Amino acid sequence: MMTGTTPVLVLKEGTRRERGKGAQLNNIAAAKAVADAVRSSLGPRGMDKMLVDGMGDVVITNDGVTILKEIDIEHPAAKMLVEVAKTQDQEVGDGTTTAVILAGELLKKSEDMIDQNVHPTIIAGGYRIAADKSVEVLSKIAEKIDIKDKKQLREIAATAMISKSVGSHRDMLADIAVKAVTMVAEKTEDGRWSIDDDNIQITKKQGAGIADTELIPGIIVGKERVHPGMPRSVKKAKIALLDSAMEVKKTEIDAKIEITDPTQLQAFLNEEEKMLKGMVARVKKSGANVLFCQKGIDDLVQHYLSKEGIYTVRRVKKSDMEKLAKATGATIVSKIDELRRGDLGSAGEVYEKKIGDDEMTFVTGCRNPKAVSVLLRGGTEHVVDELDRSFEDAISVVGIAIEDGKMVTGGGSTATEIALALREYAASVGGREQIAIDAFADAIEVIPRTLAENAGMDPIDTLIDMRKEHKKGKKTFGVNVLEGKLSDMMKENVIEPIRVGTQAIQSATDAAVMILRIDDVIASKGTGASMPGGPGGEDDDY
């Protein structure tokens, strides 16, 4: 371009742009800040965070994904680490803090390599190779586990809850989690196990204590019976599930009925009553003594149902109806005229019980139910919420352990084993990628190092001792944070499903590589994305 020529403006006025190393280092700094926010909550000695939102609502937790969801993060690169935690939570249910810390550490190590002029693409390539090798190492050191290994499954559930505030009740909760998961487990055509967490209904109620948490071999419906004249309890229940209204139907088109004689009005009312009575007669004829209806029920129908002694609940949620069908073996019927004896399900007892301020219907004693309920209790709302998060983690890890059939030890033992294998492997890889593989090995050791830090142990001495033990072939040695020393994690029963580690490594690597490959950040006016030069970017006037 000739001197004095007017510059061509491509971007809109107010757009902020940052390129090259500056953009990369800014993104890395933001991601590291997110990782540091959750770092102190890792492990049994990790601390909790109190999060207060704009409305003043308080959440107290040390669950990585909950912390990151509650924090209002603006920086686009930092948001990617929140996505890592969310993915880990959806796929595995546990290990969210581990995944975020690992992603942050990978980016921290890449910062040093960028300063040494190693190209980000080389770093990304090395990280990918290292991640694949890490997953391979995990598979080699994994032990088999089966749905019949109830003791091991309980230890997996207890390990997931040991770092939570409900850790003192972990044995009792782990037992409930294993029972619930094994009850809803179903075999697929290829002979593998499949577990759908949605078939475990979790109902949380403030009051009583955590020790009062119980497993219901059936379903809890958060509704009361529709008429006080109905029995409060029905033994040997025959259950009908209906997803249509028990009311007089309105016509599809606008219609007007002209009545010219008082007797016609009475005949009209009699016919309406006859229709409603017919609905109740149909339910009675099927042999049902309990009825769950997804839609509304007319007052007159309620009266006749109570006279027949049929326990009835209306406006039941669709998800609860589906769970009731799985638990009782009933078929959901769309037309009341089609209700037959063969559509009914069965339960040992259906009864109404007051929990806290709410009347609830319990469907219990189901034979071989494929949907169950867990009633969680706790002294305060915050305790119940944290108990809910911990218990969901427990059922998730038990489920994936059964599905995958493999488990590994915790306490940073697998991380140390992977780091040793990667350092040996790096020497056999040609080119600059071996620098990145070595960096990956150093980064993955952030897990035992952080566990040691949070437990008040010396992180450097701990790492040196860990490497020494693993060099001797003690593959299951890890950080025993409760006793402040190294010990055999298999003997200590600190175990987790293999998917916790593989998913954390893969998602952390993906996020780190994606952030590394960005060398140009273009932020439109009003995005609020923080860039160097102040909270609003280089020009705070915009």
Cα(294)–Cα(310) distance, integer angstroms: 16
Catalytic annotation, pick one of 89, 320, 343, 393:
393
From the candidates 87, 96, 182, 414, which is the catalytic residue? Answer: 96
Q: For every one of its 542 residues, what pLDDT tens digit does the chain have, with 9 covering 90 and above?
A: 445 566 555 666 656 666 667 777 888 888 888 888 888 888 888 888 888 877 878 888 877 888 888 887 888 888 888 888 888 888 888 888 999 999 999 999 998 888 888 888 999 999 999 999 999 999 999 999 888 888 999 999 998 888 777 778 888 999 999 999 998 888 887 878 888 888 898 988 888 888 888 898 889 998 899 999 999 999 999 999 999 888 776 655 666 767 677 776 666 566 677 788 888 888 899 999 999 999 888 888 888 889 899 999 999 999 999 999 999 999 999 888 888 888 999 999 999 998 878 889 999 988 888 889 999 988 888 888 888 888 988 999 999 999 888 999 988 999 999 999 999 999 888 788 899 999 999 999 999 999 999 988 999 999 999 999 999 988 999 999 888 899 999 999 889 999 999 999 999 999 999 888 877 676 676 554 444 444 444 333 33
397 and 96 in contact (C-beta within 8 Å)?
no
No. of helices (H) and no. of strands (E), the chain:
16, 21
Question: Which position among 61, 63, 87, 414 bears the catalytic label?
Answer: 63
The pLDDT, as a whole number, for residue 56 is: 79
Report the distance separating Cα 65 and Cα 85, nearest Å. 5
Those residues whose C-beta lies under 8 Å from the C-beta of residue 422, and which sit 6 or more positions away, are: 130, 133, 134, 137, 437, 438, 440, 441, 444
pLDDT of residue 482: 86
User: Which of the following is catalytic: 97, 159, 312, 462?
Assistant: 97
**Which DSSP letter does residue 74 get?**
-
pLDDT at 527: 52
> How far is it, in rounded angstroms, from Cα 218 to Cα 200?
10
According to CATH, the superfamily of the domain at 20-144+408-523 is GroEL-like equatorial domain (1.10.560.10)
Catalytic-residue membership of 149: no
The token duo for 365 is 């004693």
Q: Say if CB 274 and CB 253 are below 8 A apart.
A: no
Give the integer Cα–Cα distance in Å for 321 and 326. 9
Q: What is the CB-side half-sphere exposure of residue 81 using CA atoms within 13 A? A: 36
CATH topology of domain 219-368: GroEL (3.50.7)
Which of 404, 390, 233 minimizes the C-alpha distance to 309?
233
| Active site annotation includes 97 | yes
Q: In the structure encoding, which two tokens stand for residue 286, read together?
A: 């099927």
Is 182 a known active-site residue? no
Q: Is the CATH code 3.30.260.10 the one for domain 146-209+376-404?
A: yes
Catalytic (active site) residue 132:
no
Q: Are 448 and 122 spatial neighbours (Cβ–Cβ below 8 Å)?
A: no
Q: What end-to-end distance do the CA atoms of the chain give, in Å? A: 29
Tokens 């019949």, residue located: 148
Q: What residue segments make up the domains of the chain, in order of their start?
A: 20-144+408-523, 146-209+376-404, 219-368
